[in-house]
């Protein structure tokens, strides 16, 4: 899928929209979700133009891929959810109900997160 340079995370990466940064390095930015679904709700995004996790996995460099995984570990540490537990969610494409077409992992925690999947709406 072609990358849309106007998506909101691309604009955050260009500094056009502010964000509440939790962690940043050369390849990755992590920031608080604007509409948190749990006490801890952080989004981790690569700085490269990848739409889905499959894009990042297939066309990202090994350095970018490793940096992304390391950043998730950093966020888990910085938000103190390692001991109590957390959930990683990555919505991809139409059926995954991905709203922002720039790959991101949600790091959620700080309370019990319930069952893994809700039933789809009819």
**Please, what is the Cα angle at 21 between 17 and 23, to 5 degrees?**
135
Binding site for ligand AMP (CB under 6 A): 8, 17, 19, 31, 33-35, 43, 91, 97-100
Nearer to ligand AMP, 43 or 81 (CB): 43
Q: How far apart are CA 47 and CA 45, in angstroms?
A: 6
Cβ at position 8, least distance to ligand AMP in Å: 5
Do residues 7 and 101 touch, judged by C-beta distance below 8 A? yes
- The alpha carbons of the chain give a radius of gyration, in whole angstroms, of 14
Of 34 and 88, the one with the shorter C-beta distance to ligand AMP is: 34
Give the nearer residue to ligand AMP in terms of CB position, either 62 or 118. 118
The verdict on whether 104 is a catalytic residue reads yes
Instruction: Output the smallest distance, CB 55 to ligand AMP, in A.
Output: 14
> Shortest approach of ligand AMP to residue 110 CB, angstroms?
15
Q: Which one of 41, 102, 104, 106 is the catalytic residue?
A: 104
What counts of helices (H) and strands (E) characterise the chain?
3, 5
Query: CA-to-CA distance for 58 and 65, rounded, in angstroms?
Result: 10
Q: Catalytic amino acids? A: 104
């Amino acid at each position: 899928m072609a990358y849309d340079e106007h998506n909101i995370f691309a604009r955050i990466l260009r500094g056009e929209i502010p964000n509440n940064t939790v962690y940043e390095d050369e390849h990755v930015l992590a920031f608080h979700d604007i509409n948190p679904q749990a006490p801890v709700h952080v989004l981790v995004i690569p700085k490269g133009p990848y739409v889905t996790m499959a894009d990042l996995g297939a066309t990202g460099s090994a350095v970018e891929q490793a940096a992304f995984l390391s950043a998730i570990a950093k966020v888990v540490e910085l938000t103190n959810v390692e001991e109590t537990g957390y959930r990683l969610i990555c919505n991809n494409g139409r059926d995954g109900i991905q709203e922002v077409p720039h790959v991101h992992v949600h790091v959620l925690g700080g309370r019990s997160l319930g069952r893994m999947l809700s039933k789809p709406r009819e």
